[in-house]
Amino acid sequence: MVVTRFAPSPTGYLHIGGLRTALFSYLWAKKNNGEFVLRIEDTDKARNSEEATQAILKAFEWLGLEHNGEITYQSQRDEVYAKYIKQLLDEGKAYKCYMSKEELTELRETQMANKERTKYNGKYRDFDGTPPEGAEPVIRIKAPLTGEILVKDGVKGDVSFQAQDILDDFVIARADGAPTYNFVVAIDDHLMGINEVIRGDDHLSNTPKQIVVYNALGWDLPKFYHVPMIHNSAGKKLSKRDGATDVMAYKEMGYTPEALLNFLVRLGWSYGDQEIFSMDEMENLFSPKDINKSASIYNTEKLDWLNAHYIKNTPNSELAELLTQYDLVLTSHDKKEILLDELKERAKTLKELATLTKEILTTPTSYDEKAVKKAFKGNAIEVINTFGAKLSACGDLHLPTDYHAIMEETITEMEVGFGKIGQPLRVALLGKMTGPGLDSVMAILGKEETMLRIANAITANS
């Protein structure tokens, strides 16, 4: 069974790059009827916070990415790690190093002065003497000091590291017993049964160290997929300004989970030239073997385009629910269908949809000056006044076409072109020259509100 994982360090919110690797891991587990598990890497007490953990979980909930089983918290597994540290010590695969901070600093400075790579010099590797008085040892693992460490990567192919260039006997437990990052990642990935590790390629350089731990414990390696970073349009690593923001900020900006996930799946992965993928399609088609070798480019227009697509295809009742986050209660509005049918074609985000809706539903209290100048020329007031009178004289009107017929009637009778009614009416109803189709606006507002707005505009602009 394929078991994948997402292993965030809760140092802040979940960002878009993290979410993408989580999505890839999730999809690959789904495709294989496997499991996707979540591990919170919260061992760094100074930098981790409970709020950050909760923020990450909230983002997962919003996006509907469910994980299997209980969440593993590294902060609760000290005993597990201690057991393997002891095992490695007992087997002579790790050892206590008593080197003082001063000694280490001196070693580093000498190496730097000689333009050598800074690394531990193995002083206590085979030590069997009496430890220095009062020294609290760290535990170091015996790493191979020569030879090749091969990372067989599912994205990058075979990546070969030379032990003498990158390794030393690195610390696996600090003086206070706290285990170190690469050690616990390897231990947990193995114990949690994770056999396919999909993560950002900023972790590729950690992988040889993790392989050292696997080898020391005689464990099989998982399959690794290191995913290239997401870049901005200038080809630089994505920064906050480009959108490397809190995933939940996308919710506030009015993106739907479907659009965001669809957007992310295409950052670094493709299936022919298909752009739109339902969740089911993603689950069926995604494979980490098809991840691009080069960085992908974050493109806001693409995200907006996808979001517009999903908004257009979301049933109105669902949209009405989603709009409640912008203090817009449409759920029982009797013209909800006409309103959303009209506006959802025009909005790139739910927030924009909310704004457009509020613009229609709010009676204008002022009128755009330029629009007034342009629209209220000649006999414009007379035209909309006539139109208003005709509305008043007829019975109930419901459909956009009902209103359209009366507009037609008015212009025929007054022998003017359509612009002569359209422009002033638009300004009267919306306060400005832009906006959705007038017939629909009137059908949404209803006869009374339409007449009221016409009368207000006439008073204000005569």
| Footprint of ligand GLU (CB under 6 A) | 7-9, 41, 185, 199, 203
Residues 378 and 178: their CA atoms lie apart, in Å, by 83
Mark whether 240 is an active-site residue.
yes
DSSP string, 215-275: HHHTPPPPEEEEEPPEE-TTSSBP-GGGT-SBHHHHHHHT--HHHHHHHHHTSSB-STT--
Q: State in angstroms the smallest separation of the CB of 252 from ligand GLU.
A: 23
Q: State in angstroms the smallest separation of the CB of 21 from ligand GLU.
A: 7
Residue closer to ligand GLU by CB (options 15, 30) is: 15
Edge-to-edge strand list for the sheet holding 72-73: 3-6, 35-40, 72-73
Q: Which of 221, 224, 81, 213 has the alpha carbon at shortest distance from 144?
A: 213
Residue type, 138: V
Residue closer to ligand GLU by CB (options 85, 187) is: 187
Q: 93 φ, ψ to 5°?
A: -95, -5
Residue type, 391: L
Q: State in angstroms the smallest separation of the CB of 265 from ligand GLU.
A: 19
5 forms beta bridges with 37
Residue closer to ligand GLU by CB (options 203, 404) is: 203
Q: State in angstroms the smallest separation of the CB of 4 from ligand GLU.
A: 10
Q: In the complex, which residue's CB is closest to ligand GLU? A: 199
Q: Which residues does 313 contact at the CB level (< 8 Å), separation at least 6?
A: none
Catalytic residue among 45, 101, 115, 240: 240
Q: State in angstroms the smallest separation of the CB of 76 from ligand GLU.
A: 16
Residues 323 and 305: their CA atoms lie apart, in Å, by 19
Residues 332 and 316: their CA atoms lie apart, in Å, by 11
- Active site positions, annotated: 240
